[in-house]
Amino acid sequence: MSSLTRISITRHGEGEHNLRTTHFQGRAPTAGLTATGHEQARRLGQRLLAEQADLPSMPITHLVCSSLLRTTQTAQEIGTLLGQTPEGDDAFWELSKGEWEGVMPINAVPEPEAQALAADPFGFRYPGGESYEDVWRRTAPAFERWVRRAKGGRLLLVLHGDVIRALLYHILRFPPTKIGDFHLDPCSLTEFRQEGERLVMLSCNDTAHLR
């Protein structure tokens, strides 16, 4: 095992809810992977397996996922190839968009809410749901706990797009108004290496294995 800790973060594969692009989706707890999503997860698993063969001193020591269906299915596809059983963590559930989920058209948000969302995308709380700030406060302690547990190894987190953005804010502390500026493809890799007390970004939204 290496003396350094490596953190690999991936978004789940394409979900059934991702096919409906006209409405806000959010948590969507019953949405599983599409056939494409399963294939994306297998391709990522094959990449990680090849990396372990090339660098045996840095195997994935902890495979952790949000316990929602689509992240669990993604982690299971990867775990099957790596010979590991994923550990689910409820703290990593996707941002809840409350009353808007599956109902509110993205292009039909009432003007007062649209202005509030544009002015403060980090602090805007969806009606009956959460804000990015809520997700950051919910997920950051879980992230730090798993990083500590994986010390000297490689941690793979299988998460959701908005959760990854909240964790990027936690690590990089960019202006919160930029929270939506990170594009994250299904089964892309975003990676960090721990150096002392800081995390150094190695890649963001790497999709080489999907081309």
The length of the chain in residues reads 211
Does the structure show a pLDDT above 60 at 129? yes
Burial 130-146 (b: 16+ CB within 10 A, else e): bbbbbbbebbbebbeeb
The encoded tokens of residue 81 equal 């190839």
Residue 85 to residue 81: CA distance in whole angstroms: 10
What pLDDT, on the 0 to 100 scale, is given for residue 2?
57
What pLDDT, on the 0 to 100 scale, is given for residue 145?
98
The pTM assigned to this predicted structure is 0.96
What pLDDT, on the 0 to 100 scale, is given for residue 3?
64
Does the structure show a pLDDT above 80 at 1? no
What is the average pLDDT score of the chain?
95
Return the DSSP state at 174: -
| pLDDT category of residue 197 using cuts at 50, 70 and 90 | confident
Look up tokens 């294995």; give the residue: 209
What pLDDT, on the 0 to 100 scale, is given for residue 20?
84
What pLDDT, on the 0 to 100 scale, is given for residue 39?
98
* pLDDT tens digit sequence for 64-113: 999 999 999 999 999 999 999 999 999 999 999 999 999 999 999 999 99
Three-class SS of residue 70? helix
Distances (CA, A) of 185 to 14, 91, 160, 188, 196: 9, 22, 10, 5, 30
